[in-house]
Amino acid sequence: MAEFTMELNDEQKEVRDWLHGFAADVIRPAAAEWDEREETPWPVIQEAAKVGIYSLDFYAQQYFDSTGLGIPMAMEELFWGDAGIALSIVGTGLAAVGVLANGTEEQIGTWIPQMYGDANDVKVAAFCSSEPDAGSDVASMRTRAVYDEAKDEWVLNGTKTWATNGGIANVHVVVAVVDTELGSKGHASFIVPPNTPGLSQGQKFKKHGIRASHTAEVVLENVRIPGSCLLGGKEKLDERLARARERAKAGGERVKNAAMATFEASRPAVGAMAVGTARAAYEVALDYAKTREQFGRPIIDNQGVAFQLADMRTSIDAARLLVWRASWMAVNGKPFTAAEGSMSKLFASETAKKVTAQAIQILGGNGYTREYPVERMHRDAAIYTIFEGTSEVQRLVIARTLSGMPIR
């Protein structure tokens, strides 16, 4: 187990500087254009693929970093560049991790390369879990997967929503209900291969922020996929369902808490994204305050501005420390006895909203225009308190963990 540290090692610093350079030289110059276009920034993704950032190998290296700091460091730097473009670059990773976590070696080797493509023909993937009536309440999921034993095929029906890359993806990973009696424990994940009949894109959402990231509904109408597309395989699923039924009889709430612990481990990465956006807005505001003069002196000489900047920097550093602690705990198997994963996501996401709003205030009228990036950063920051569990859900998880109450 790696010791907890607040200092990046030389290799991590080299990766951080490399990512920062890409964010500064490639992502930032393109950010305003793709935000206005509200389209997937394929040329930027291709550039990321050429240098090795858009690849499974890169994210695997960061994911298996024993300090736990690889992923949050990478997320912070990319989202410092621009949240919408960064999400387009990292969004495929959601589906890839789903396959890595649940798939067989053959499935991993077959499908993940098809998710990324190559530098000359980049592809994206989509992870489809949320539904119109099942966002935070995953137990309300309605998409069904029924096994056709005669043909060894699964038949999927339902509608997914808020899917990053939904409908434009080469490969979709879809979570569906296979046993309605087991709640979230009756779910399974499936690969929907490219060009499968019955899968279509529904509504594409025109969003307040992260507009360079494609978000849409995915409609599944009698989508038939081979039995081999069930992640982990049928035998493993049957064994898992049998265990879940026994556990539910012995104490269903304990099963639900175990499931919630899995979600806890993924939340620090979202916190790191929020830290990147907050840091970017803070740096713009700091530079502006140093150079903007009113009444014969830089506005940073005014306590009203200086104190805001002090609070902004303090909150950003505190958020990063919470994210790093939770990331280290997750990779080293430390239990989140106080919902530390939710703590990090909650504090970082609320910090991003507050800091970006303060940055606009410091820039005054200029901050409210699209000539300066803080307006876009403020719009982007709003998503962090919503996806991967709203702030209200994070507070509920933390409160119930501390009190010992069941998390439903």
Element (H, E) at 221: strand 215-226
- 152's CB contacts (< 8 A; 6+ apart) are 226, 227
The neighbour count for residue 1, using CB atoms within 10 Å, is 9
140-143 contacts at long range (C-beta below 8 A, 24 or more positions apart): 141/175, 141/176, 141/177, 141/184, 141/187, 142/177, 143/174, 143/175, 143/176, 143/177, 143/220
Burial class (CB in 10 A: 0-12, 13-18, 19+), 361: middle
Place of tokens 């556990």: 247
Tokens standing for residue 283: 């740096």
DSSP conformation letters of 341-355: HHHHHHHHHHHHHHH
Q: Which of 47, 76, 77, 388 is catalytic?
A: 388
Q: Nearest-CA neighbor of 309 among 276, 324, 287, 277?
A: 287
* SS3 readout for 268-323: HHHHHHHHHHHHHHHHHHHHHHHHCEECCEEHHHCHHHHHHHHHHHHHHHHHHHHH
- 367's CB contacts (< 8 A; 6+ apart) are 359, 360, 361, 374, 375
CA distance 345 to 236: 32
Q: Is 388 a catalytic residue?
A: yes
CA distance 139 to 187: 9
Look up residue 284 and give its amino acid: V
CA distance 371 to 191: 43
Catalytic residues: 388
